[in-house]
């Protein structure tokens, strides 16, 4: 087996710059998501001061759901609407970057990806405020759990279903790069740990999940950015 093989737990385009760079250096790159995500119908969001997104999928499904035409049925055009300035928060910097590229919204708060630090820092700006946490059905709700006893009004909104795929096949690669905790858990539900494999986590919460699965030697990126982490290998 060639040593320069890497698996990335997300669907990737072989023409992406970092993939081309790796292949030019002799790497074989395999990428596929091990988690299925699908829209989850949700009611009209409550009136809050903040909206907190755990992930890129939460951002995508939240705004896609709001854009559905049926949400506007029965609304009389021309009626003045009460405008409230919302503030937006993300669990990690990767989600903040996606929020900007997907909807043109600059996050007012972008966490570091470590639940305890995110909860602590977010409380400083959102204390005594109403916060809507937008998430997947099987989210760990880590920040909410850490803040539930604090002076902050928590609201919960599930906007997508996320579950591990039941059928998938991944080549045995020397390097494994996991993008979320659920991706890592899905992989190791099917495949045994190998001593010769080097495991990477894109961000801290995924690294924590890998350690809990019995993988003490996990390399974690400084920021939740696949491109940045892989650049160290190329």
Which pLDDT tens digit goes with each residue over 42-74?
999 999 999 999 999 999 999 999 977 655 444
State the pLDDT confidence band at 169, using cuts at 50, 70 and 90: very high
- In tens, the pLDDT along 195-211 reads 899 898 887 788 888 99
For residues 6 and 154, what is the distance between their CA atoms, to the nearest angstrom?
Answer: 40
- pLDDT at 67 (0 to 100): 78
Both 146 and 45 in one domain: the answer is: yes
For residues 171 and 6, what is the distance between their CA atoms, to the nearest angstrom?
Answer: 9
Domain-ending residue, one of 133, 163, 193? 163
Residue pointed to by tokens 């907190």: 52
For residues 51 and 45, what is the distance between their CA atoms, to the nearest angstrom?
Answer: 10
Both 51 and 126 in one domain: the answer is: yes
Q: Report whether pLDDT(1) > 70.
A: no
- pLDDT at 81 (0 to 100): 47
- pLDDT at 229 (0 to 100): 60
Residue 190, both tokens: 């099917």
Task: Give the CATH number for residue 91.
Answer: 3.40.50.10090
Both 125 and 211 in one domain: the answer is: no
Q: Report whether pLDDT(234) > 60.
A: no
- pLDDT at 2 (0 to 100): 53
User: By three-state DSSP, how is residue 132 classified?
Assistant: strand
Both 98 and 11 in one domain: the answer is: no
- pLDDT at 221 (0 to 100): 57
Both 71 and 142 in one domain: the answer is: yes
- pLDDT at 69 (0 to 100): 60
User: By three-state DSSP, how is residue 61 classified?
Assistant: helix
Average confidence score pLDDT of the chain: 86
Cβ(111)–Cβ(92) under 8 Å? yes
Both 150 and 172 in one domain: the answer is: no
For residues 165 and 187, what is the distance between their CA atoms, to the nearest angstrom?
Answer: 10
Domain that holds residue 148: 39-163
Number of domains forming the structure of the chain: 2
- In tens, the pLDDT along 138-153 reads 988 999 999 999 999 9
Q: Report whether pLDDT(217) > 60.
A: yes
- pLDDT at 74 (0 to 100): 44
- pLDDT at 76 (0 to 100): 43
- pLDDT at 73 (0 to 100): 47
Q: How far is CA 116 from CA 111, 141, 147, 208, 221, in A?
A: 10, 12, 10, 12, 18
- In tens, the pLDDT along 73-104 reads 444 444 444 556 799 999 988 899 999 999 99
- What radius of gyration do the chain's Cα atoms show? 19
Q: Report whether pLDDT(168) > 80.
A: yes
Domain-ending residue, one of 163, 194, 221? 163
Name which residue leads in pLDDT, 229 or 134.
134
Kindly state the percentage of the chain with pLDDT values over 70: 85
Q: Report whether pLDDT(29) > 80.
A: yes
SS3 content of the chain, % helix, strand, coil (to 5): 30, 25, 45
Helices (H), the chain: 17-24, 56-66, 93-103, 115-126, 142-147, 181-190, 204-212, 226-230
Name which residue leads in pLDDT, 27 or 106.
106
């Amino acid at each position: 087996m060639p040593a320069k093989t890497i698996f990335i737990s997300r669907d990737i385009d072989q023409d992406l710059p970092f993939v081309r760079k790796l292949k030019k250096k002799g790497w074989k790159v395999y990428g596929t998501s091990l988690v299925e995500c699908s829209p989850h119908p949700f009611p009209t969001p409550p009136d809050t001061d903040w909206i907190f997104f755990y992930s890129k999928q939460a951002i995508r499904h939240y705004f896609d759901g709001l854009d559905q035409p049926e949400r506007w049925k029965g609304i009389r055009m021309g009626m003045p609407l009460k405008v409230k300035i919302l503030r937006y928060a993300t669990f990690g910097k990767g989600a903040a970057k996606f929020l900007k590229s997907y909807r043109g919204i600059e996050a007012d708060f972008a966490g570091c990806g470590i639940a305890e630090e995110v909860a602590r820092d977010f409380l400083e700006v959102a204390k005594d405020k109403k916060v809507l946490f937008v998430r997947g059905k099987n989210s760990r709700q880590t920040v909410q759990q850490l803040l539930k006893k604090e002076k902050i009004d928590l609201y919960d909104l599930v906007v997508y279903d996320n579950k591990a795929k039941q059928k998938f096949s991944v080549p045995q690669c020397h390097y494994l790069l996991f993008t979320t905790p659920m991706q890592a858990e899905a992989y190791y539900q099917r495949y045994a740990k190998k001593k010769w494999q080097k495991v990477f986590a894109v961000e801290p919460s995924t690294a924590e999940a890998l350690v809990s699965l019995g993988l003490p030697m996990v390399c974690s990126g400084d920021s939740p950015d696949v491109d940045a982490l892989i650049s160290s290998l190329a």
